[in-house]
Amino acid sequence: MTAFHYQQGELFAESLSLRELARHYGTPLYVYSRQHFEHSYREYSDALQGCDHLICYAVKANSNIAVLNVLARLGAGFDIVSVGELERVLAAGGMPERIVFSGVGKKADEMRRALEVGIRCFNVESEAELERLNRVAGEMGMKAPVSIRVNPDVDAQTHPYISTGLRDNKFGIDIAKAPEVYARAAEMVNIEVVGVDCHIGSQLTDTRPFLDTLDRLLALIDRLEADGIALHHVDLGGGLGVRYRDEVPPSTADYIAAVRKGLGERALTVMFEPGRSIAANGGVLLTEVEYLKLNPHKNFAVVDAAMNDNIRPALYGAWTEILPLSPRSDGEERHYDIVGPVCETGDFLAKDRALRIEQGDLLAVASCGAYGFTMSSNYNTRGRAAEIMVDGDQHYLIRERETVADLMRGEHVLPE
Ligand SMILES: Cc1ncc(COP(=O)(O)O)c(C=O)c1O
Ligand SMILES: N[C@@H](CCCC[NH3+])C(=O)O
């Protein structure tokens, strides 16, 4: 049974009715399941038992501190891409020595703070970044632990916007050039080379690109060893896909088993940076139908959630299930585009869905636990939704709904 399921004609999160939660907190509302986050994290940790490993949850997928705290309690590490994410992890009780810092544009201040708290490793994405890090660490009288993010030029066979391991993408250092960069890094006084890192893309539904990448990384590790540079860890990044519609991604257990087989007997710590596969199916976005607009050629259900709450359909044409909280057996079934109040034609959450709905009905946009709230915005001066976490038969407000006053905070009119 998944965390979100129908029970006596109503959609539930664990033991709670989503309709009642929507009425209690209002809509739009993000609802997460603690059970799901814990279960999907344990799929990784169980599959990695007996193998030296670190699972660094990718904070960008869902960065609410309650979510981070649930994972930190299980011993998770974290993959961050900004000092903001670093502070979130620390506030949530995450351990600095389990944090890796990715991203192509780290600023000196961000490096300083990460060095100060003692993170595990910087995933360095360019030579210029390496030089800056060496300088910043030198100013602090420290050595920065580094793993170079290499770009293995592997086609992840996913949406082009979320493919990151091709030569044309902005991420990482060309694998062919990596030995030269490692040699430079090894000579830098304030850099300590500890590993190799990569992340080839997101929502992968096949293990092949991961295994091809691993082969290339292991060949690089051998080459570096021959050059006298010994690495302690290999970080395969995130990217494992989930089922939104009818995709059949490998299970976490199968994926990890394949990676372990590829690693063989090597004495390397293996690291992962999963985001979506931990969080996506642990959350839904609840919304109320404000109006039905039945036009001659097209029907629209205008709901109170919009592209500012969930941008994935507009940005990637992403498909997610639309589930009525209390499905009707009466009324006419029609095909609807589910659209929000934002003034953009791209403001849709779903297209052409056969539904039996009326004004005032409540819907769940499924699979919104990853890259849902974290990608939301205030476009059209819309406050961001509240977030709640369900834990068995308990529910907790983990982020208050933004008010209009919140949105204008820090703005000033010109003097008279
Ligand atoms: C460097 C890095 N690590 C990990 C992730 C998490 O990826 P996913 O959510 O696909 O597991 C991302 C995002 O794609 C990323 O850019
Ligand atoms: N935000 C994207 C994934 C990109 C992950 C960041 N590298 C999504 O919603 O699918």
138 annotated as a binding-site residue: no
Cβ–Cβ contacts within 10 Å for residue 110, how many? 21
Instruction: State the alpha helices, DSSP H only, in 275-383.
Output: 276-279, 312-316
Residue whose CA is at the smallest distance from ligand 2 atom 8: 371
Q: 202 in ligand 2 pocket by Cβ < 6 Å?
A: yes
The reply to whether CATH 3.40.120.10 applies to domain 4-32+280-408 is: no
* Contact criterion met (CB below 8 Å) for 110 and 83: yes
Q: What's the 22 CA to ligand 1 centre distance in angstroms?
A: 31
Which residue, among 107, 38, 1, 44, has the nearest Cα to 273 in the 3D structure? Answer: 44
* Contact criterion met (CB below 8 Å) for 60 and 84: no
pLDDT in tens, the chain (416 residues): 489 999 999 999 999 999 999 999 999 999 999 999 999 999 999 999 999 999 999 999 999 999 999 999 999 999 999 999 999 999 999 999 999 999 999 999 999 999 999 999 999 999 999 999 999 999 999 999 999 999 998 877 766 666 666 666 777 899 999 999 999 999 999 999 999 999 999 999 999 999 999 999 999 999 999 999 999 999 999 999 999 999 999 999 999 999 999 999 999 999 999 999 999 999 999 999 999 999 999 999 999 999 999 999 999 999 999 999 999 999 999 999 999 999 999 999 999 999 999 999 999 999 999 999 999 999 999 999 999 999 999 999 999 999 999 999 999 999 99
Angle between helices 34-47 and 65-73 (to 10 degrees): 40
- Alpha-carbon dihedral 319, 325, 330, 334, rounded to 10 degrees: -20
Q: 292 in ligand 2 pocket by Cβ < 6 Å?
A: no
Which residue, among 86, 94, 81, has the nearest Cα to 41 in the 3D structure? Answer: 94
The pLDDT of residue 164? 64
Domain ranges of the chain: 4-32+280-408, 103-272
* Contact criterion met (CB below 8 Å) for 215 and 262: yes
Q: What's the 199 CA to ligand 1 centre distance in angstroms?
A: 7
Q: What's the 404 CA to ligand 1 centre distance in angstroms?
A: 32
Which residue, among 199, 207, 188, has the nearest Cα to 166 in the 3D structure? Answer: 199
Say which DSSP state 59 is in: G
- Alpha carbon 381 to chain centroid, angstroms: 25
Residues forming beta bridges with residue 57, ordered by sequence position: 78
Instruction: Label residue 320 exposed, middle or buried (CB < 10 Å: 0-12, 13-18, 19+).
Output: buried
Rounded distance, CA 242 to CA 259, Å? 18
Rounded distance, CA 156 to CA 298, Å? 36
Assembly ipTM: 0.98
* Contact criterion met (CB below 8 Å) for 104 and 125: yes
Rounded distance, CA 343 to CA 324, Å? 25
Ligand nearest to the CA of 244: 2
Q: 40 in ligand 2 pocket by Cβ < 6 Å?
A: no
Rounded distance, CA 204 to CA 33, Å? 23
Retrieve residue 299's tokens: 């029907």
The pLDDT of residue 109? 98
- Alpha carbon 160 to chain centroid, angstroms: 17
CATH superfamily of this structure's domain 103-272? Alanine racemase (3.20.20.10)
The pLDDT of residue 170? 73
Known active-site residue 368: no
Question: Which of 51, 56, 198, 343 is flagged as catalytic?
Answer: 343
Cβ–Cβ contacts within 10 Å for residue 104, how many? 15
Cα distances from 228 to residues 174, 198, 351, in angstroms, run 21, 21, 56
Cβ–Cβ contacts within 10 Å for residue 304, how many? 18
Q: Look-up: residue for tokens 């502070």? A: 87
331 annotated as a binding-site residue: no
